[in-house]
Copies of this chain bind each other. A is one copy, B any other.
Amino acid sequence: MSTDLLSFDCRFQYGQGFTLESAFALPPGISVLFGPSGSGKSTCLSLIAGLLRPDAGAIRLCDTTLVDRGSGLWVPPHRRRLGMVFQDHLLFPHQTIRRNLGYGMASRDDNGTRLAQVVEMLDLGGLLDRYPGQLSGGEQRRVALGRAMLSEPQLLLMDEPLTGLDEAMRDRILHHLHQAHERLGVPMLLVSHDQVVVRRMAGHVVVLEEGRVVDQGPAHETLDRATTRTMASHPGPINLLRVEEVRRSGDHHEGVIAGQRFHLAGPIAPDSTTVYVRCLPRDVALLIGEVSRISMRNHLVGTIRDLIHIPGDHRALVAVDVGQLIWVEVTDSACRELGLAIGVRVTCLIKALATDVVG
């Protein structure tokens, strides 16, 4: 208990509506709240930051109790020393970017160098004397991030801090956040939907669904399980394959997917040379070794990149990289018999008729 960075165990209800009822503990380091839209992630952050008061339960940060409805203890938000990046930024519209950034900064221990570092890291150089209304969406998000970081929090809460940023910027900031974490040891709790971000950043992941913690643990395992869960409850992924160099060949069309021949069925606009083809995972079969004579016309060879057993369903979803990623649904027994595993080379067999040319 005492080694946890944060222990959270709260119930909170919006009026008569959504109820959050979750308990989790975060180890020191970087953690991620993960879960579908509307699952209560922002609500969690608000509770931790003290912007909402739980109906029951308690939140502890290190050795400090932030709120405990049992004993009536309550630390007001401004004494919690938590930096928060809001989903919608909430920059102060009447202050310049410089003043926004400096708002939470304890002025005593700073002679501009920390501000300069953050400005450099977030590439905000030319914007300091503008007002938030004069920034682009991504610029606003970066300012919000910088403002929270400069407040020297004991814990940095970030609600989707990197969405709306281009990949280069995202990578750069991720890198810097990592550095900041290593150098200054600032623990972070972030909300993100982006698996790249999560897998790269997080040590610990908490998965929320409909206000409840459905899973938590080390990042990779937890995310793999999460993907599985989503797929179990969801119609599942739909393959969308890009077929290039399409040309007529006798009574049908054919093209190329990542260097491999692909047969198309159905009408195709005469001047298209690139089309998209949609097929369902269950319409794809897998084969190991040489292709035998078979009625399935399309054979795409690739490597298994991912393999997800769907619990209680005796199914598995296999991601095969044939140059493009193809999801294949197989039974658990087929999976065992064929010895499917990540890295195994397989051939995907797709019936041309089962595909659907998109355009």
Contact = CB atoms under 8 A, between A and B. Distances in A.
Interface of A: 14, 17, 29, 35-38, 41-43, 87-88, 130, 134-139, 142, 159-160, 163-172, 175, 178, 182, 193, 195, 199-200, 203, 218, 220, 230, 234-235, 237-238, 240, 242, 258-259, 274, 303, 305, 321, 323, 342-343, 358-359
| 4 A-B pairs with least C-beta separation | A37-B138, A87-B137, A163-B163, A36-B166
A37 B136 contact: yes
Chain copies in the assembled complex: 2
Contacts of A163: 160, 163-164
A242 B230 contact: no
Given A87-B164, A165-B193, A172-B234, 17 more contacts: A36-B166, A36-B169, A37-B136, A37-B137, A37-B139, A38-B138, A42-B136, A137-B159, A160-B163, A160-B164, A168-B230, A182-B359, A203-B359, A258-B342, A303-B321, A305-B321, A321-B321
25 contacts: A29-B359, A36-B166, A37-B136, A37-B139, A37-B165, A38-B135, A38-B139, A41-B136, A42-B137, A88-B88, A88-B137, A137-B159, A163-B164, A164-B164, A165-B193, A166-B230, A167-B230, A168-B230, A171-B237, A172-B235, A220-B274, A258-B342, A303-B321, A321-B321, A323-B342
A343 B359 contact: no
A35 B166 contact: yes
Given A38-B138, A220-B242, A168 B234 contact: yes
Contacts of A14: 134
A298 to B, nearest CB: 17
Contacts of A36: 138, 166, 168-169
Nearest to A29: B359
A321 B163 CA distance: 26
A136 to B, nearest CB: 5
A301 to B, nearest CB: 10
Name which of A88, A138, A182, A237 has the most chain B CB atoms within 10 A of its CB: A138
B169 A37 contact: yes
A14 B126 CA distance: 14
B343 A258 contact: yes
A201 to B, nearest CB: 10
Nearest to A15: B134
Nearest to A159: B137
Name which of A193, A220, A323 has the most chain B CB atoms within 10 A of its CB: A193
